[in-house]
């Protein structure tokens, strides 16, 4: 039996794909189709927003041409697959001419003619809506947002707004953005969605106004500092049929999500303890981060990061939370929190004026997961066991500033009409706001 293998993303499966699969099938008796997974696409810089890997696998299966479908997860897998499945022919589209000649050492390489006049890129441009996005606030994080958005399909940044019109105009000019608006209301009349990158205390008003105008919202962390405000925003988003997403870059990081899935599958047993730390030493005490009038301090700046793995793995229904903080001039330069669950205990440490090891340790009844600093930009983690021979390390690529992952998820939710993301559920975002409010009210809090 002659085996043939081919690979592709197969997003927006079209007649060109089907013709190529048919030509590949005609080369032998058995066709294996490799579908690239979402993480592998990200690693290659392809952050499309149409169709996850399961949907694409089903689309390929529906053609009836594949005898076997496999997932392509990593660079170098093609050689492994050719040897594993005893493949005779590797087939790929002619637009890759010469790029896979190195595989001739393992099997015959055939470049198949593409169907003229049709491609995924062309169809994506025709079928996929382009979401016009306005940026609110032109500070440092917004300056990172613009180049990161260039890696994501479906988004077009068309305007900016800043309370300082001079800053807004300079931002628009330096980033080749067409419009700088004189008011937020004017921006809302001309965009489909907004990215809110303003100081914490302004988030609620901007997000509420945008949602009421039926605009999708991506809002920087923390979304808000009050439980009721968070509930209100998500309720309004549901009522108005728009996507509200908190811009928590770790929540959408490929490696972090893989870690969460693995732990939920039981690889370290039942989770009984989580320790998460994050700290920075900022010597300039005149910065906004140290101004109590602008909601400065460790908790408001960084608290949502260590809360994420806790809420993802143990849920938001904790029994109680005790907070211990060192305060200076009205802000916490260091805070430790201890959350108690029915069968687990968790702790987090955050600091702006105290330095600590910024790692993540998730302890279970069979082993533990270790993510070294900076774990909130996860590109590596290890599963460790009593028998060290069973330890496993997992490596991933963290691209750029990491904002492209949250932008991709936001665009995917909008274009595919998903009201929310499973990677950061509304209830998790709301629970984070509840913690912020507890800190504000100094409930169960002790100064150290």
pLDDT in tens, the chain (448 residues): 999 999 988 877 778 889 999 999 999 999 999 998 866 555 445 555 455 677 788 889 999 999 999 988 777 899 999 999 999 999 999 989 999 999 999 999 999 998 765 555 554 455 557 999 999 999 999 999 999 999 898 899 999 999 999 999 999 999 999 999 999 999 999 999 999 999 999 999 999 999 999 999 999 999 999 999 999 999 999 999 999 999 999 999 988 988 998 999 999 999 999 999 999 998 888 888 899 999 999 999 999 999 999 999 999 999 999 999 999 999 999 999 999 999 999 999 999 999 999 999 999 999 999 999 999 998 899 999 999 999 999 988 788 888 999 999 999 899 888 999 999 999 999 999 999 999 999 999 999 9
End-to-end CA distance of the chain: give it in Å, rounded: 73
**Half-sphere exposure (CA, 13 Å, Cβ side) for 138?**
23
Residue 260 phi, psi (nearest 5) = -60, -45
* In this structure, CATH architecture of domain 123-249: 3-Layer(aba) Sandwich (3.40)
Distance set, CA 409 to CA 8, 42, 49, 325, 416 (Å): 21, 12, 7, 34, 10
Closest CA to 403 of 392, 414, 395, 411: 411
pLDDT at residue 123, as a whole number = 46
3-122 shares its CATH topology with 123-249: yes
C-alpha distances in angstroms, 62 versus 24, 56, 58? 16, 10, 6
By the 8 A CB rule, do 169 and 198 touch? no
pTM of the model: 0.79
Instruction: Indicate if the alpha-carbon torsion angle 55, 60, 63, 68 is positive or negative.
Output: negative
**β-strands 445-447, 320-328: how paired?**
parallel
- The CATH number of domain 3-122, selected from 3.40.50.620, 3.10.20.30, 2.40.128.110, 3.40.50.720: 3.40.50.620
Contacts of residue 76, defined as CB under 8 A and 6 or more positions apart, other chains included, come to: none
Q: What are the structure tokens assigned to 180, written together?
A: 């700088």
Domain boundaries, the chain: 3-122, 123-249, 254-397
Q: Residue 254 to residues 66, 212, 275, 408: CA-CA distances in angstroms?
A: 28, 32, 21, 12
**Rounded CA separation 179/191 (Å):** 11
Q: What is the pLDDT of residue 161?
A: 98
Residues in Cβ contact with 265 at an 8 Å cutoff, skipping those fewer than 6 apart: none
Cβ distance 314 to 260 under 8 Å? no
164-202: b or e for each residue (b if 16 or more CB lie within 10 Å)? eeeebeebbeebebebbbeebeebbeebbbbbbbbebee
* Phi and psi based region of residue 154 (left: phi greater than 0; alpha: psi -120 to 50; beta: remaining): left
- Domain 254-397 homologous superfamily, CATH: Dihydrodipicolinate Reductase; domain 2 (3.30.360.10)
């Amino acid at each position: 039996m002659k085996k043939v293998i081919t690979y592709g993303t197969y997003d927006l499966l079209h007649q060109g794909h089907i013709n190529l699969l048919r030509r590949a099938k005609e080369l032998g008796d058995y066709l294996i189709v490799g579908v690239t997974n979402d993480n592998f696409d990200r690693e290659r810089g392809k952050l499309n927003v149409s169709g996850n890997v399961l949907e694409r696998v089903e689309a390929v299966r529906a053609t009836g041409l594949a005898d076997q479908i496999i997932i392509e997860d990593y660079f170098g897998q093609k050689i492994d697959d050719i040897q594993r499945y005893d493949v005779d022919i590797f087939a790929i589209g002619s637009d890759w001419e010469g790029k896979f000649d190195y595989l001739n050492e393992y099997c015959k390489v055939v470049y198949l003619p593409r169907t003229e006049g049709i491609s995924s890129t062309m169809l994506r441009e025709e079928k996929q809506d382009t979401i016009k996005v306005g940026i609110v606030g032109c500070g440092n994080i917004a300056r990172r947002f613009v180049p990161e958005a260039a890696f994501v399909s479906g988004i077009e940044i068309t305007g900016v707004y800043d309370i300082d019109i001079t800053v807004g105009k300079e931002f628009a000019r330096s980033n080749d953005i067409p419009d700088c608006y004189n008011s937020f209301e004017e921006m809302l009349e001309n965009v489909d969605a907004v990215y809110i990158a303003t100081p914490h205390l302004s988030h609620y008003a901007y997000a509420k106004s945008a949602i009421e105008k039926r605009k999708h919202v991506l809002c920087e962390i923390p979304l808000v500092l009050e439980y009721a405000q968070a509930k209100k925003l998500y309720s309004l988003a549901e009522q108005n049929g728009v996507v509200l997403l908190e811009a928590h870059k770790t929540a959408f990081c490929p490696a972090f999500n893989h870690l969460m899935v693995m732990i939920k599958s039981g690889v370290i047993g039942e989770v009984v303890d989580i320790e998460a730390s994050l700290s920075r030493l900022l010597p300039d005490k005149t910065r906004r981060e140290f101004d109590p009038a602008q909601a400065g301090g460790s908790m408001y700046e960084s608290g949502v990061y260590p809360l994420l793995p806790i809420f993802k793995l143990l849920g938001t229904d904790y029994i109680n939370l005790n907070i211990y903080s060192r305060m200076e001039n009205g802000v916490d330069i260091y805070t430790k929190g201890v959350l108690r669950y029915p069968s687990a205990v968790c702790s987090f440490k955050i600091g702006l004026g105290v330095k600590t090891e910024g790692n993540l340790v998730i302890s279970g009844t069979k082993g533990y997961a270790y993510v070294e600093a900076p774990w909130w930009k996860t590109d590596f983690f290890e599963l460790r066991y009593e028998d060290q021979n069973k330890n496993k390390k997992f490596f991933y690529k963290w691209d750029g500033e990491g904002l492209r992952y949250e932008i991709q998820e936001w665009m995917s939710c909008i274009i595919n009409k998903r009201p929310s993301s499973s990677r950061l559920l509304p209830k998790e975002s709301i629970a984070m706001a509840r913690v912020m409010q507890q800190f504000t009210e100094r409930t169960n809090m002790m100064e150290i």
